[in-house]
Chain A
Amino acid sequence: MKNQKNIPSLDRGAGVKEAAFKTVVYAFLVLCALAVLFPFYWMILTSFKSYAAYNSEYIPKL
């Protein structure tokens, strides 16, 4: 009986571990996907820029 009581708590610990693992996996996949997609995004942006705008990339300041 004691052992059976312990099982749910063990499972909950495993669930938290699993969730943490899933989070790390998804974060990694999203990061890699961004790295893959960014050049395409930039290609489309650049195709709409004038030469002057392409030539003078800067971070706008408030």
Chain B
Amino acid sequence: MERNQKKGWLYLLPALLFVAVFLVYPLIDVLIYSVQEGYNSASQEFFGWGSYNYSYVLRDPYFLQALKNTLVLVFLTVPASTLLSLLISLALSSIKKLRKLFQTVYFLPYVTNTLAVGMVFMILFDQTEYSNGLVNLILEGVGFSPVDFIEGPYWAKMLVLCVYTVWTVMPFKILVLTSALASVKEEYYSAARIDGTSRFRIFYKITLPMISPMLFYLVITGFIGAFKAYGDAVALFGVNLNAAEMNTIVGYIYDMLYGDSGGYPSYAAAAAIVLFVIVLTVTVINLLVRKKHVFNG
């Protein structure tokens, strides 16, 4: 037993070393950066230790804007995309004809590049000097007044970002949920059908509990992914996200490091730690909820 345990650690060593060097060490390094005051990246000197970086970041209006944007994005897109992909995969699993075709179509966005398709969404919503863009043309056709979605009011821009985010994260969720639905044993459904159970009750009492582990996995990864959003916003609104009021926390970190206002690794590190704490908190809450509500059969 003792010898086996040693062997086990030996087998784990390569993976542990990799994690330690490329994950744990950088994390500790970021933590150290974030509490060094007045760090100068050229001379690698700093004045002393303290929490000034955090108080600067938490008072920076750009960071607060980025925080607000990220939170709005997370709490709008994660429920919306999960519900929609659950509906689509339920519909997919209830049909036989054309099922493969629909699955292929829904999977297409997964293999595309976020910048390329983001540009298409930008074109769809954009107002140019001579045209209102396709979406506005449709809106006008239905009788609404055109809205400047890319350079206009805050909620119009947020709507575009949310629609695009939902569009990009759906394929993965549909893929996972359709396979989860396919793995539910047919016997349960047969038994329910013999008892004459209604469709909604079958879904609520059999399907939902059986796929709940996968659903929670999707919600957790969805939350984490949405908190780390950055590329989507760049694709839609360009590199200067602060001017567009559409910055995200990751975008703020990037700007602090390399952007036009950049060169402040300490502020970037502090913002990164704040993001880390937020994501950790949300994930822990998710896991606690999971423990209570998920069926582990």
Contact = CB atoms under 8 A, between A and B. Distances in A.
Interface of A: 21-22, 25-26, 28-29, 32-33, 35-37, 39-40, 42-43, 46, 54-59
Interface of B is mostly: helix
Interface of A is mostly: helix
Given A36-B105, A42-B123, A56-B131, 5 more contacts: A28-B87, A36-B108, A39-B167, A43-B116, A58-B131
Interface centre among A21, A25, A36, A37 (most CB of B within 10 A): A36
A43 B113 CA distance: 12
Contacts of A43: 116-117, 120
A46 B120 contact: yes
15 contacts: A32-B84, A32-B106, A33-B102, A36-B106, A36-B108, A36-B109, A37-B105, A39-B120, A39-B124, A42-B134, A46-B123, A54-B123, A55-B131, A57-B131, A57-B133
A47 to B, nearest CB: 10
A43 B74 CA distance: 27
A46 B121 CA distance: 12
Given A25-B91, A55-B129, A33 B105 contact: yes
Interface string B110-124: 001000110011011
B128 A36 contact: no
Contact of A42 (B95, B120, B129): B120
A15 to B, nearest CB: 15
